[in-house]
Amino acid sequence: MQKKLSNITNAYRLSNEIANGLDGVAIDKYNAHYQIQFFNKNSTECEQKLIETLKNTFSPEFIAVKYRFKNYSEIKTVFGNDSKTIVEENGCKFAVDLLDTLNPGLFLDMREARMLFGKMCKGKEVLNLFAYTCSFSVFARKNGALKAVNVDISKKNLNKGKENYLLNEIEALQGEFFCGSSEEYVDWAAKKGKKFGAIAIDPPSFAKNGKKTFSVAKNFESLAAKAVSILENNGVLLLATNYSEWSGETLMKMAKNAFAQNYKKFSVLAKGTESSMNYLILIPATAHRF
């Protein structure tokens, strides 16, 4: 599996918790940078052994350790000096910083979805909600999207998205970066009668915006329904979530409800599950398949 992935990317998960015999531990590779994540305190007993194994096996430039216990988080450097690197994935480049936050700038479990969605965006205007560092838009623009509007409440995230545009020699167009609420942007677009040829919705489980909080459990279906209302008849909609309480079946139910609220049905172009992430790529049922 790792050999196959190495043909398309230099960023992937080396070990995924109990599935690889390391309960509560995940190890990720980002170019020559590595991170070890511990999800419970007991799993840290093997920390030093894992660090030495990475050093001896991969000749790393940098290693970060991240503790992600319940109600506790910490990041520390255990080897190397520069936490920043550039990774490549299916012909695109992304800036990564292992010390910036618990999430270094690129979610590895959305690799396939990024590629598939991007290929469906040629000639379309794209809306990327909860854009984070704009990876969906990078793939969309590299595959011929006319424009990609990135919406995120974090100016810092959008600045990283701009950096990723530069890395991929993509000229940022006017209006491609909007710092604000995804829900408010969709409401504005609906009010103005604005339509998009492709929309990506990949929110965090919870997102605070001032006094308001977006919750996947409470708000995802409503946002998806509004997105369907501004999706062109031959448009593409990506729905994704890593919310631990939802299965792929739950996400499919949310999709059906969202389209039903717009008196529409849909066809599934792609679906997938990677780790705790579920995603769907959909088109209105009357649209022609790609």
Whether the predicted pLDDT of 290 surpasses 50: no
Rounded to whole angstroms, the Cα distance separating 79 from 23 reads 23
Rounded to whole angstroms, the Cα distance separating 199 from 183 reads 13
For residue 221, give the DSSP letter. H
Residue from 9, 6, 3, 59 nearest 34 by CA = 59
Average confidence (pLDDT) over 87-109: 95
Please state whether beta strands 125-129 and 147-152 pair in parallel, antiparallel, or not at all (unpaired): parallel
| Number of Cβ within a 10 Å radius of residue 170 | 20
Residue from 91, 171, 101, 174 nearest 133 by CA = 101
Which of 21 and 118 is assigned the larger pLDDT? Answer: 118
From the centroid of its chain, how far is CA 88?
15
From the centroid of its chain, how far is CA 158?
14
| Number of Cβ within a 10 Å radius of residue 211 | 5
* pLDDT in the model for residue 1: 47
pTM, whole model, 2 decimals?
0.93
Rounded to whole angstroms, the Cα distance separating 142 from 249 reads 32
Residue from 122, 109, 118 nearest 136 by CA = 118
Q: Distance of CA 13 to CAs 16, 87, 157, 170, 177, Å?
A: 7, 13, 23, 28, 30
Average confidence (pLDDT) over 257-263: 97
What is the number of H-type helices and E-type strands within the chain? 8, 16
Output phi, psi for 142, to 5 deg: -65, -25
> What is the radius of gyration, based on Cα positions, of the chain?
19
Average confidence (pLDDT) over 191-219: 88
Whether the predicted pLDDT of 279 surpasses 90: yes
SS3 content of the chain, % helix, strand, coil (to 5): 35, 35, 30
pLDDT digits (tens, 9 = 90+) for 52-65: 999 999 999 999 99
Handedness of CA 127, 130, 133, 136 (dihedral sign): negative
Residues 6+ apart with CB under 8 A from 221: 254, 257, 258
What is the enclosing helix (H) or strand (E) of 267?
A: strand 266-274
Whether the predicted pLDDT of 288 surpasses 90: no
pLDDT band at 6 (very low <50, low <70, confident <90, very high): confident
Is 208 buried (19+), middle (13-18) or exposed (0-12) by CB count in 10 A? exposed
